[in-house]
Amino acid sequence: MLFARNEAINQWLDQNPLVLGGGACLIALVLIGIGVSALVTGQTRDKWGRKMKGTNAQVLGAVWLGFGGLALLFGLFKIGTAFIK
């Protein structure tokens, strides 16, 4: 229900998978960058702005890295489907 509120945009994105794939890849790059930064430095901030250090920061960095990888796979899949059609 949440994603079906604007059918015109959903239909346009379905007809233009390069835009959807490119957007997903951009989001993926941001998430991967944040994840790698958290893993390398061992510190990051949570969504409320509190500083996290050590194992907590590394776990959160791994989560961001994982979701970034999933978003990258989705983006590449959508870009690939644009060329197969």
Question: Where in the chain are the domains?
Answer: 24-84
Residue 22, pLDDT above cutoff 90: yes
Look at residue 5 and tell me whether its pLDDT is greater than 80: no
CA distance 26 to 68: 10
- pLDDT band at 2; cut points 50, 70, 90: low
What Å distances lie between residue 40 and 16, 33, 44, 50, 58, CA to CA?
37, 11, 10, 18, 8
Q: What is the mean pLDDT of residues 3-9?
A: 72
- pLDDT higher than threshold 90 for residue 19: yes
